[in-house]
Amino acid sequence: MTISPQPIQTLLEMRDISKTFGVTKALSGVSLTVYPGEVHALMGENGAGKSTLMKILSGAYTADPGGAVVINGQPVTLSDPLKAKAHGIAVIYQELSLAPNLTVAQNMFLGNEPSRFGLTDRAEMRRRAEPILRQLGIGFDSGRRVADLSLGERQMGAR
């Protein structure tokens, strides 16, 4: 008896994605396929459509009719960032967008804060943040305020 290997299911597919702003065609028939364990980089000149494609994936923009986004083999509609987040999608942009008045841990969990009895659980936030910082080789404490970090430290934490 011969056993055929099962094809690897894609994690994410964006098929034939287009986006028009007025008379400007920002994207035309773009496709992207991501398999488990892969890392991808979108590269290109300014105006090539990289950010537009990621904004469609994150639900910030709606693609023109005709394309499809498929996650784990299932077509999905990502009509807003909350729907994208429910599917495990979040986009981290290259620009530093840190809240300097908050701690490193608070910035790491901004919008996804652990809570206990309806209140933000700062101790849990720090417990979760510390191993992540260690894994990334970042030597500063997650309880430090971002305003107290050097620019280099801020960039390390924002990578």
Which CATH number is 76's domain given? 3.40.50.300
Check whether residue 81 and residue 23 sit in a common domain.
yes
86, 118, 144 - which closes a domain:
86
Both 59 and 125 in one domain: the answer is no
Q: pLDDT tens across 57-71, in order?
A: 999 999 999 999 999
pLDDT of amino acid 93 = 67
Which residues in the chain belong to E strands, given as ranges?
Answer: 12-21, 24-34, 68-71, 74-76, 115-116, 119-120
- The pTM (predicted TM-score) of the whole model is 0.63
| 154 domain residue, yes or no | yes
Those residues whose C-beta lies under 8 Å from the C-beta of residue 19, and which sit 6 or more positions away, are: 25, 26, 27, 49, 52, 56, 61, 63, 64
What pLDDT score was predicted for residue 31?
A: 96
Q: How far is CA 67 from CA 27, 30, 112, 121, 155, in A?
A: 11, 9, 30, 41, 36
- pLDDT tens for the chain, 159 residues: list them: 677 676 788 999 999 999 999 999 999 999 999 999 888 888 889 889 999 999 999 999 999 999 999 999 999 999 888 899 889 887 776 666 788 999 999 998 988 899 999 999 999 999 999 998 888 888 889 999 999 998 888 877 654
**Residue 68 belongs to domain spanning:** 12-86
Q: By the 8 A CB rule, do 131 and 73 touch?
A: no
Residue 146 lies in a domain: yes
pLDDT value for 135 = 85
